[in-house]
Amino acid sequence: MVRGRFDDSEACYVISVAAQMVGVRAQTLRYYERIGIIEPSRSQGRNRLYSQRDVEKLRYVKSLTEDLGVNLAGAEVILRLIEKMAEMQTRIEQMEAELEKREEGGI
């Protein structure tokens, strides 16, 4: 599916659906919002709406807490670090391509 930059058709899920996708209870998602882990949008300011991106973030948080025993404060720090590492990885790949290009030109 092709999506425009401001395409409102981006998939969104109510709490019960999001909870099932992630594999947690709806109450847990409300708790996560209360302590600031995730901030879903709301339909007319009432029902929570979780984006695809929200769901992926929640899945990652779940794997950190359940598989590794990390608490939620730790999960937030780790999410930020992972994001930063992805940026660094992109930078490395760009530079590698640049060096390779010059290598070819030099020969």
Residue 59 C-beta: closest distance to its own copies, Å:
17
Q: Does 61 bind its own copies (CB under 8 A)?
A: no
* Rounded Cα–Cα distance for residues 68 and 33 (Å): 22
Q: In what order do the strands lie in the sheet with 12-13?
A: 12-13, 47-51, 41-43
Q: Does 96 bind its own copies (CB under 8 A)?
A: yes
Q: Does 74 bind its own copies (CB under 8 A)?
A: yes
By beta-carbon proximity to its own copies, the closer residue of 16 and 89 is 89
Q: Does 18 bind its own copies (CB under 8 A)?
A: no
Contact call for residues 55 and 22 (beta carbons, < 8 A) = yes
Residues forming contacts to DNA in the complex (CB under 7 A) are 14-17, 24-28, 30-31, 35, 46-48, 65, 69, 71-73
* Rounded Cα–Cα distance for residues 76 and 72 (Å): 6
